[in-house]
Chain A
């Protein structure tokens, strides 16, 4: 088994997916803590669906998929953020409507163009074969930018996540940072959905943060733990998916679920111990 894992690293496609995957897992985990705490987790799901629609249209039209879907998803991110801010509209319902519509457009467009069904399957559930050399060239710098911006603005992101009004009152540009979070999330999702799949990418954002919050009670510890959990679960998931020939995205979600259950169990035992 170890041999087959070592052999795995001799495939260029696998190494590409591995590098992009680790970077994306890291980005998603960092952003995820704020998104989950601000109750924006569903925005990630909505963005993934919009990304799917954009990718499908780009493929049929023979445009470069990432160059089209990244700007489209960034625009969608602005829009969804606005929706969930506005209490007059039912934000969650609006997000659901937008995601299913985008998904439907994507599927109809691809089925109209013949012989694209395999690709649809791959986009829905992810594939490590999907990461091309060109994707790698865009993904690496973009994810490094996400990570650098997150670290650079960490204190402000904390302040806004904890108490938006207070942050605003002491002069933090709340709107700017929220838009930045949305844009970074959009980029992370578009890059990550090739491996994870449209339906599963949001779990990469939500799971590590949720698991960490079971055990850790300071923001910094939650962020660090999320980053580690996310990367470890990604590596385990992708290796297991190779050994058992299961789809990569789903395998990664399941390793994350296992981790979540494990952390919940430890938290429960610890709770009993202190009582």
Chain B
């Protein structure tokens, strides 16, 4: 406390606390308190309103015996395994293409970024219509090639694929922007040196672009995986809750939403959110450990 002895230092500390007070109050209420409260709720049988009873680990025990939860967990992992690699590869290719100095490239950028800012509800709505099995554009085009299109959104075997297509369509733009920012950070001199050595495009990509872009790629993979563990919007928007397609597409967060906010099993929902947090935490820590093997920090 020696540091704060002078009048001036005390005045500064006082000013600082006034400045951080609104923020810290918010964090204490909406984050710290809410976090602890959620743990507490997860040990109760809290419904919508009224008194909740402490029931110990019951919610967690129920969760680990809940087939719906396992199905949702598997579905969520499917979303990650299908969408994250597809997004990373496609957006890297698009970013490489957009990084070429060509006439009219700006128009392509604008168009490819459009899904980022489009209201998800409108996106879900139009894709639901595109996937309509009788009158939808997708099955009509497939029909032209003599393929009988499936009932995309109500067949539990394909509903997840349909949602994945939409999620990839929505998510590429953001990843492209981030890759482009990374590409523009690579110094041109590396490529000039490689040209002098007579390296071809593939060699240049493998020995310059990819290693120098690996921190960006790593960061994107980590954030995309975290994001896809929380996938909800498009499932909710495209598949009616009572449809048979929901079983094949339901993610953890979709199940959480149904339990906590349509059936009002809040204690159970809270427990599920806590388990989701632990899963994300473990996966992220594993990735942080693995990064040393492939990420190159100049």
Answer whether A and B are interacting partners.
Answer: no
Interface residues of A (CB under 8 A from B): none
